[in-house]
A and B are shown apart, each in its own frame.
Chain A
Amino acid sequence: MRIRYVFKGTKEELKLNPNVGTFSWFLHRITGLLLLFYLFTHMWVLGSANKGAEAFNQRLSAVQTPLFHFLEIGLILVIFYHMVNGLSITLMDFANISSKHKSLVVAVVLVFAILAIVSLSVMLPRLFAPHISTGGLA
């Protein structure tokens, strides 16, 4: 019941308050949950190191597939959004610049875009064409 209440309420809030703040709040919560999910997956892979090198290599190779490479791109975007938005809220509170909300939103979008473009331009060739980008070392 409680979960249904939360889903219904979130839908209503997005509908009744179609403002930038509502959407960034919604995305912040969703990306937070996704990061929590990633943390458990991450520990599941790393935890296998307790059972020796063989088990660790085996589990690591299980996540070195094109599907997981695509998910890694999503992960980078999720981390950057959650990080940039979180930092902007902290800055807003500490520096008390709430009256400059619109400039803050523009700054968040710009920093997010720069981080995403730079990291993806490094990451994409390494993930999908390692023989070209690293001279066959990867």
Chain B
Amino acid sequence: MSTTTFKIFRYDPDDGRDPHFQTFQVETVKGMTLLEALYWIMEHKDPTFAFRSSCREANCGSCAMHINGSYGLACRTQVDNLKPPVVIRPLAHLQVLKDLVVDMKPFFDNLKAIKPYLIPGDDPPEKEYYQSVDDRKKIDHHVDCILCGSCYGSCPVAYGDPKYLGPHALLKALRFVDDSRDGATDERLAIVASEFGVFRCHTIFNCQLVCPKDLNPTGAISKLKNKIVVKKFPFMKPFVRT
């Protein structure tokens, strides 16, 4: 057992103090995750400490936060791998409600804007939709997104413009555009080609670097850009990869 120093962002709208960092000494053991350390602080040091978590196995995406210079999930970060003092901040670009809890409403509003559900085409099949193995492989990568918000927090464009759809929504848009069963490709491409869509992306690659699921939102955005270009200018097809 050893002791590790944690510097954690604290803010409570009710106590009248400005946001500040509070230092905690945490007794850590080998194999301890950051989420366990946060629970240890809540149980042993300060019961008013607030953060979100649920599944503890990188499936729900609740515990995304800024950990020592990068975004990630607390539940899949080993305390041993972090350089003390461990500095923890909430997700950026979203309003802080209390401590590490942020208001995710703008994040999910942006997701809703791209209609993240299957829209059947004009001629739905009588029984179930058939999808070949090859067609399924096209969306294999994108369906893994757990909507944790790490990419949205790391994207400088999201700071400048809250209306910007964000890497999470655009990745999800490609997931449906690439889905062979979906019938609203043109509608979705029109949404992501709007003023606050793919062309706001500055290709900064932060979303790709921080994604805890190793997905590639930057690549998804460039694919969507190419699809929009080919739709508008069909002669560009040989020059771009969609």
Contact = CB atoms under 8 A, between A and B. Distances in A.
Contacts of B226: 93-94, 96
B204 interface: yes
Interface stretch (B17-25, B75-83, B103-111, B214-222): B214-222
A92 B222 contact: yes
B222 A93 contact: yes
Given A22-B156, A101-B208, A92 B92 contact: no
A95 B229 CA distance: 13
Contact of B160 (A6, A18, A19, A94): A6
A25 B222 contact: no
Interface residues of B, number: 27
A94 B204 contact: no
Interface string B182-224: 0000000000000000000011111011000000101100110
A96 B241 contact: yes
A25 B239 contact: no
Given A9-B159, A25-B156, A16 B66 contact: yes
Nearest to B217: A98
Nearest to B159: A9
B89 interface: yes
A94 B242 CA distance: 9
A12 B92 contact: yes
B206 A99 contact: no
A93 B240 CA distance: 8
A9 B203 CA distance: 18
Contacts of A101: 205, 208, 218
Interface in A51-109: 89, 92-96, 98-99, 101
Interface in B227-242: 239-242
A21 B204 contact: yes
Interface string A9-21: 1101100111111
A89 B203 contact: yes
A98 B69 contact: no
Given A10-B156, A28-B202, A101-B208, 15 more contacts: A6-B160, A9-B159, A16-B92, A17-B156, A19-B205, A21-B205, A21-B206, A22-B206, A25-B203, A89-B203, A93-B222, A93-B240, A96-B219, A96-B241, A98-B205
22 contacts: A16-B92, A16-B154, A18-B69, A19-B205, A19-B206, A19-B209, A21-B206, A22-B204, A22-B206, A25-B156, A25-B204, A93-B225, A93-B226, A94-B226, A95-B240, A96-B223, A96-B240, A96-B241, A98-B216, A98-B218, A98-B222, A101-B218
Interface of B: 66, 69-70, 89, 92, 154, 156, 159-160, 202-206, 208-209, 216, 218-219, 222-223, 225-226, 239-242
